Structure 1
Amino acid sequence: MTVSVALGLALLAILLLATLLIAAYSLHKVRAAHLMLYELRDTLEQGGNRQFRQLEALHGLYIELKLDKSLPPTRGWAASPDFLIELARHAREARPGIVVECSSGTSTVVLARTLQLNGRGKVYSLEHDPHYAQLTRELLARHGLSEWAVVLDAPLEPLDVGNVPYTWYRASVLPALPQIDMLVIDGPPQAVGRLARYPAGPVLLPRLAPGGAVFLDDAARPDEQEAVQRWRDAFADLQVSTRNCEKGCAVLQRPAAAAVAESVTRAA
């Protein structure tokens, strides 16, 4: 075999190898593009389903609460419609007398309107931001609900819980209430610090009435999950469940007095 023939065969082999490598790389890129398209399709479908679920919940709120004026936006930092309708449905069924809320806004209007439909009860909302407190008061007035809810100016201040420093609402602004029938926790904001919502447990859960319920928004977040676990450890009688809400919803409920008495009787 002459040198020129050998060189030609070598070049041909190199060319074939290069062609195979290019083909393999092209197939890899095509497969990656297909996978990306499938992932994008699934993301769009899931996003569409989530938005549709929120629209359904918002529509349900307007129907169930018989609202004749619009609610403020329920996106971003605001409570999502699916969380709001959980609050409304529980309040309609449980008919709480005293509702305490950590933060204020659309949820305050929803709860106040529910109590108005029930014909009993009052909402007490702790709000650290004076601007938002005033906005909520204006919302209540617009819906004719001012007598069913009061927004309390509760600035954030240092609070020691078990010798650990936190920043939480000034709880002393709450009037001398009987036991709390329903507690809604949607503040303080996460930016305040780690486990920002945890102090609600030590401060308010001892005042939760038999049969009373706690609704925690944003319960899909790690801090809120840890707070729930700590509350459960500290208050063994609380029954914990979840609701399928956009941002996560944890529900903690104290057994009714009759249920507790029956349990004691059976144990005896």
Structure 2
Amino acid sequence: MFPLTSLLFIAATLLLCAYTLHKVRLIHLMLHDVRDQSHRDNAGLFRQLEALQGLYTDLGLSHSLPDTRGWAASPDFLLELTRHAQAEKPRTIVECSSGTSTLVLARCMQINGSGKVYSLEHDAAYARQTRQQLERHGLSAWAEVLDAPLAPQEFSGAIWPWYATDGLPRELEIDMLVIDGPPQATRSLARYPAGPALFGRLSAGAAVFLDDARRPDEQQILRRWADEHPEIEQRELRCEKGAAVLRYRPRA
């Protein structure tokens, strides 16, 4: 029989081998995850580059667009807006938040030969930047950036910081609504008031585009809108940050 010390040594060796194999397997799985993530990142980057190229081609821009990374709308979302605006030729577009999307949509109006973009912007510095970009691109006649500070307003029995909308023409009917603000940090479900504040001004067949629709807040907002506005159909868009398009189909 083996002495006790030898048995203990063998047992310890086996345990060490099992532990080492376990660690090697974890490293192997981690490397697979890193590889898969790298492939996804590369595919995502390629998709954004394709969308950016599509924007420049479809819009025939003579000047470069501002940054489309970080807080800005991603190229694939901007391309969705472009193709809708060029196909359906909305007369009136309203945006919640200004930026690169304002330029893109103003250029669509210019190409279409009619229509106008009204962009609600709560940050005065961003509003100035967007106006400067519109002027640089020769698009000032096709879009108006409205100074719309966030103010406490009541919607659905609660108080929300929401854009001042008194700058919008009183009888304005909205053919296309783009919701990319206010920032998430202003309040939970920060973009929910777009429904009670603006859906009543949608024209028949109007389209509503919501950016960042993959976030939990936006998912909850979409559910609330679906419950409160059954006449509005919802569809997911395959975009980098998640997006949704809603269609207003008034019942006869």
Q: TM-score, with normalisation over the residues of structure 2?
A: 0.97
CA distance in 1, matches of 2:41, 2:32: 14
CA distance in 2, matches of 1:163, 1:37: 51
Pairwise CA distance, 1:227 = 1.4
Off by >6 Å, runs of 4+ in structure 1:
none
The residue aligned with 1:160 is 154
CA distance in 2, matches of 1:158, 1:170: 9
Structure showing greater radius of gyration is 1
Q: Deviations over 1:104-161 (max 9, x none)?
A: 0000000000111000100000000000000000000111000000000000000101
The residue aligned with 1:3 is none
User: What residue identity is the alignment partner of 2:201?
Assistant: R
CA distance in 2, matches of 1:52, 1:212: 31
CA distance in 1, matches of 2:64, 2:25: 48
1:142 to 136, 140, 151: 136
1:240 to 212, 228, 234: 234
User: What residue identity is the alignment partner of 1:172?
Assistant: D
Query: Aligned pair 1:114/2:81, yes or no?
Result: no
CA distance in 1, matches of 2:12, 2:217: 54
Partner SS, residue 247 of structure 1: coil
Unaligned runs of 5+ in 2: none
Q: Between the two proteins, what is the percent identity of the paired residues?
A: 57
Partner SS, residue 245 of structure 2: strand
1:208 to 202, 211, 215: 202
CA distance in 2, matches of 1:175, 1:130: 20
1:27 to 21, 40, 60: 21
Q: Deviations over 1:10-46 (max 9, x none)?
A: 1111111111111111111111110110011011111
The residue aligned with 1:87 is 81
Q: Counting helix residues as a fraction of each chain, which structure ranks higher? A: 1
User: What residue identity is the alignment partner of 2:142?
Assistant: W
The residue aligned with 2:12 is 18
The residue aligned with 1:197 is 191
Partner SS, residue 173 of structure 1: coil
Query: Aligned pair 1:102/2:75, yes or no?
Result: no
Pairwise CA distance, 1:175 = 2.0
The residue aligned with 2:117 is 123
CA distance in 2, matches of 1:20, 1:231: 60
Aligned-pair Cα RMSD in Å: 1.2
Pairwise CA distance, 1:163 = 2.1
CA distance in 2, matches of 1:121, 1:44: 43
CA distance in 2, matches of 1:175, 1:166: 23
Counterparts of 1:28-67 in structure 2 under 5 Å?
A: 28-67=22-61
